[in-house]
Each structure stands twice: as structure tokens, then as C-alpha cells.
Amino acid sequence: MVARTTEWAFLGRVPYAEGLALQQVTAAGLKRGDGPERLLLLEHPPVFTLGRNASEADIVAPREWLEAQGIEVHETNRGGEVTYHGPGQLVGYPILNLNPDRRDIRRYVRDLQEVLIRTLADFGVTAFRHEAPGHIGVWVREGKIASIGVHLSRWVTTHGFALNVTTDLGHFGGIVPCGLVGVRMVALSELVAEAPSLEAVAARVVHHFGPVFDRQVVPPGGSA
């Protein structure tokens, strides 16, 4: 069986609303059957996003602090509670059609975790899944290094993961991250002698994404 093709792109810094629109356009094309799967890799300007299980009470910082830090707030249809996106964080939005052979949301989340665990291993960092309820994401011994929140519609995926590379972790102090009181957020830059660029981390994500998801991952209009 020939592996499906997924186009990938590293887009640099993209406003959150623009990234959401890109996902929606791609997902609509997949549902119509006239568009490609895509893996969008990027970073956002500072933003707090509220998942379906979140409320504004999960934002503990006053509005004046948000304005001073330049942090926007967006409600989303992804799963989970509240999280932070910002510069130095690699965000991945896989827009895939899980029909007909991968219609299992637990498997999908575990596959996203596996991609990130393998990526971090490339930089000498041992990461793992936390099996406790509510602890979806990717963890290292020191704390939580990546968040995952997804949305599926007719088995087409949107949203995805956020991996802290050189992220300003102080901004997580303005929220209850993923509804976990007292959780320590960690960045890759704390765990290695020299922090890699987002582009370097994105390249390793692409490398592992294909084998984990049984996809041929190619640049737009290109070949592997």
C-alpha cells in the first residue's frame, strides 16, 4: 500500500487568527476531497488560547498585565483547557484525514506524542507520556515540555501540539496551564547546552512524522 502524501511547511511567525484560518481552509479542502493533507509548523506572537474545557477564570493574570505583555486571548474549538503560545515555541498543526484506517483519537494523540518524544531524543532529551488523567502532552523529568490539543471533524484533524524550545516560560504564569495547578513548564533550552533553532527542531519533527503516521512528507508541490 502506497503511503499517503502530506505537505509540510515551516511558516515562521504567524498571527494566531491567520494560523487558524490556514487550518480551516486546508480542512475544508480535505473534506471536499480536492485538497492535500498538510503539516503546518510555525510560531505565534504571544497568545492565550482557551480550549473547549476552559473558561476565562483559567486566566489568572489581570487584563492590564496581558496588555503590557502584548498577549492576545482567543477561544478555540480544540480539546483541553488554556495554554500559551509565543515566540520560541514550535507549534504544529497537522491537518490529516484519518479515514478510513486511523479512526482512533487516542491513537492519534499517542502518535503526536511519539513524534515529539523521538524529536526530543534527537537532541539528547528523554521525554515520555504521563499516564495520569488530564496530563495529555509530553513530559520530561523536570516538567511538561509540550502541550497537545486537537479537534476532529469527520475525522479530519486540526490544531495539534506546542513544543517549548526557547519559550519565555514566565508567560505561563498568567494562566493555569492545561488546568494543572502547580505544573512546571519546561523548555528545551533549559535541558541542552545550546538551544537549537525552531527550524532545526521542525526538521526533526518532519523526519519522524512520516514513519509514525505512515505518510510521505514532502514540501508543497515537491517530492520527499
Instruction: Provide the annotated active-site residues.
Output: 178
Which residue has cell 496581558?
66
**DSSP assignment of 81-127, as one string?**
SEEEE-TTEEEEEEE-B-TTT---HHHHHHHHHHHHHHHHHHTT---
Burial class (CB in 10 A: 0-12, 13-18, 19+), 80: buried
Query: Which of 57, 81, 86 has its CA nearest to residue 71?
Result: 86
Q: What is residue 52's three-state secondary structure?
A: coil
9, 49 Cβ separation under 8 angstroms: no
A 10 A CB-CB count for 135 gives 13
Joined grid coordinates for residue 68: 503590557
